[in-house]
């Protein structure tokens, strides 16, 4: 990344391996990161930090932890882009998306990505959302 100021991304996932891997890869791309292993710790981070983007797991301490955290973020920072990543689409028959304005109004995410996810796809969405 060639920007003089580094963008900060909040990463929230209770899967430590996924969180660590994503943290390492995004730092290698030139981003600053804040990490939290759940909704509660993330809400505490948000009291003192305003990231430029958030990437949240859907199911953490609670099955809807990602939705609740996305709602919290959008209330505090309405223009902060949020990506929700989850394996729920592949693990269950439930389908979530944030493709339409109606879906975005209740999902409170700008993008919904299904795990497993290629890092290149994630990076493409991160760069697109940060530039908007």
Q: What does the H/E/C string look like for 56-120?
A: EECCCCCCCHHHHHHHHHHHHCCCCCEEEEECHHHHCCCCCCCCCHHHHHHHCCCEEEECCCCHH
Confidence of residue 11 (pLDDT cuts 50, 70, 90): very high
* Torsion angle in degrees (nearest 10) through CA of 88, 85, 68, 46: 160
- More confident: 7 or 109: 7
Interval 36-57: pLDDT, tens: 999 999 999 999 999 999 999 8
In this prediction, what percent of the chain has a pLDDT beyond 70? 79
Provide the strand spans (E) within the chain: 8-12, 32-36, 53-57, 82-86, 111-114
Question: 76: which 2 tokens?
Answer: 């505090």
Does the pTM exceed 0.85? no
CA dist., res. 112 & res. 115, Å (int): 10
In this prediction, what percent of the chain has a pLDDT beyond 90? 57
- More confident: 87 or 131: 131
55, 85 in Cβ contact below 8 A?
yes
Q: What is the CATH number of domain 8-116?
A: 3.40.50.2300
130, 52 in Cβ contact below 8 A?
yes
Residues in the chain: 132
CA dist., res. 51 & res. 62, Å (int): 23
Q: List the domain boundaries for the chain.
A: 8-116
Asked if residue 34 has pLDDT above 90, the reply is yes
114, 59 in Cβ contact below 8 A?
no
């Amino acid at each position: 990344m060639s920007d003089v100021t580094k963008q900060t991304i909040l990463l929230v996932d209770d899967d430590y391996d996924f969180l660590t891997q994503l943290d390492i890869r995004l730092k290698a791309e030139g981003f600053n990161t804040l990490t939290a292993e759940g909704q509660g710790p993330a809400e505490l981070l948000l009291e003192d930090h305003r990231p430029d983007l958030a990437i949240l797991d859907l199911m953490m301490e609670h099955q809807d932890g990602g939705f609740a955290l996305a709602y919290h973020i959008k209330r505090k920072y309405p223009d902060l882009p949020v990506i929700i990543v989850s394996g729920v689409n592949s693990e269950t028959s439930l389908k979530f998306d944030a493709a339409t304005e109606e879906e975005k109004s209740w999902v409170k995410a700008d993008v919904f990505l299904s795990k497993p996810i290629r890092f290149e796809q994630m990076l493409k969405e991160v760069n697109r959302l940060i530039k908007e």
